[in-house]
Amino acid sequence: MTQAAPYIFISHSSTDREFALKLADGINAAGFRPWVDVEAIPDGSSWAREIEKAVTDCGALIVVMSKPARESEWVERETLLALELHKPVLIARLDDTPLPISLINRQFTDFRKRFDPALKRLVAALGKVSLTQPAPVPPKLAPAPNSLNFFTYMEQLPNGAENARIARQLFDWAKDNTDSLTFSGRAEPAFHAHIWVGAGGVVVFSVRSFTKQPAVEVPLQYLMPFPPYDQADQRLAVLTAINTLLPAPLDSSRADRRPTLPLSVLATDDALTTFTDTIREVINKIRAGQ
């Protein structure tokens, strides 16, 4: 009995189902065997169990990457399982949504313009991988942000190289001047600089990889329990210093909130120094007040 050829699992959001089926037809015509959940799961089966089995047994996985896919828990689970099993993972990119952290060290096939040329490139990429042996893959990246992947993630955003440079400078400064650095967020990764004061410490600034405009956030509202920033005029003084870096000043009400500055305003050495001097003063005053 002839064993069936290894199949290609197509991971996608239900929003992109029409594209996934068109892609399946295309790779089928090229001689590969696609697997799409809408067609391949038998009636009455456990959907979750069949999906897990299908990823485990596939020869390779193509993830159809789009904004809905980035927001899909199932697409993330399928992709992470394929990576864990060392399956070849290829990316069909449909829009400008940043790739998730777990995939940013992989090449993608650009389907944002014409389908047929992109399909040809994807088929060629499939022809270069083994569907029966674990693939030689780039170093595995954790799905959560950390110091190894955060800056690479930022590089794919608008003005990525410059913003990543500024973010790294802030990170390096914080390593020397704050007590702890932590990371959070998968959809919009961030890092946070903490000082250990009070019962649980406080964040003095965060760098957030907002898709449209990466920014640095100064959470003045979190400083309120700590003298002298329990006084409104002291928080307002910090906001005033921040406003010197902005083309349009923030309203004074932001002194009780979490004002943000685009990372781009810190592009010069003078601007970066002004910002870090402001944060250093905040740190020194809080520590002195304890």
Residue 41 domain boundaries: 7-127
Model pLDDT for residues 64-75, shown as the tens digit of each residue: 999 999 999 999
Task: Report the alpha-carbon distance of residue 259 to residue 146 in Å, rounded.
Answer: 24
Structural domain contains residue 163 = yes
Structural domain contains residue 79 = yes
Q: What is the pLDDT of residue 42?
A: 47
Q: Are residues 168 and 106 part of one domain?
A: no
Q: Does position 227 have pLDDT exceeding 60, yes or no? A: yes
Task: Report the alpha-carbon distance of residue 30 to residue 199 in Å, rounded.
Answer: 62
Coil, strand, or helix at residue 229? coil
pLDDT, mean over the chain = 91
Q: Does position 19 have pLDDT exceeding 80, yes or no? A: yes
Structural domain contains residue 134 = no
Q: How many domains does the chain divide into?
A: 2
Q: What is the pLDDT of residue 47?
A: 59
Q: Is 76 left (phi over 0), alpha (psi -120 to 50) or beta?
A: alpha
Q: Is 143 in contact with 101 (CB distance < 8 Å)? A: yes
Q: Are residues 115 and 175 part of one domain?
A: no
| Residue 199 structure tokens | 């019962």
Task: Report the alpha-carbon distance of residue 85 to residue 218 in Å, rounded.
Answer: 41
Q: What is the pLDDT of residue 251?
A: 95
Q: Determine the residue type at 281.
A: E
Q: Does position 3 have pLDDT exceeding 60, yes or no? A: no
Q: Are residues 86 and 121 part of one domain?
A: yes
Model pLDDT for residues 30-63, shown as the tens digit of each residue: 999 999 975 544 444 445 788 899 999 999 999 9
Q: Are residues 176 and 49 part of one domain?
A: no
Share of the chain above pLDDT 90, in %: 79
Model pLDDT for residues 112-161, shown as the tens digit of each residue: 999 999 999 999 999 999 898 876 655 556 678 999 899 999 999 989 99
| Residue 240 structure tokens | 């005033």
Within a 10 A sphere around the Cβ of 18, how many other Cβ atoms? 9
Q: Determine the residue type at 227.
A: P
Dump the DSSP string for 99-139. PPGGGTTS--EE-SS-HHHHHHHHHHHHHTS-SSS----PP
Mean pLDDT for 16-24 is: 96
Phi, psi of 121 (to 5 degrees): -65, -40
Model pLDDT for residues 76-97, shown as the tens digit of each residue: 999 999 999 999 999 999 999 9
Q: Are residues 159 and 277 part of one domain?
A: yes
Within a 10 A sphere around the Cβ of 201, how many other Cβ atoms? 14
Q: Are residues 96 and 59 part of one domain?
A: yes
Q: What is the pLDDT of residue 290?
A: 74
Share of the chain above pLDDT 70, in %: 92
Q: Are residues 277 and 156 part of one domain?
A: yes
Q: Are residues 275 and 169 part of one domain?
A: yes
Q: What is the pLDDT of residue 143?
A: 76
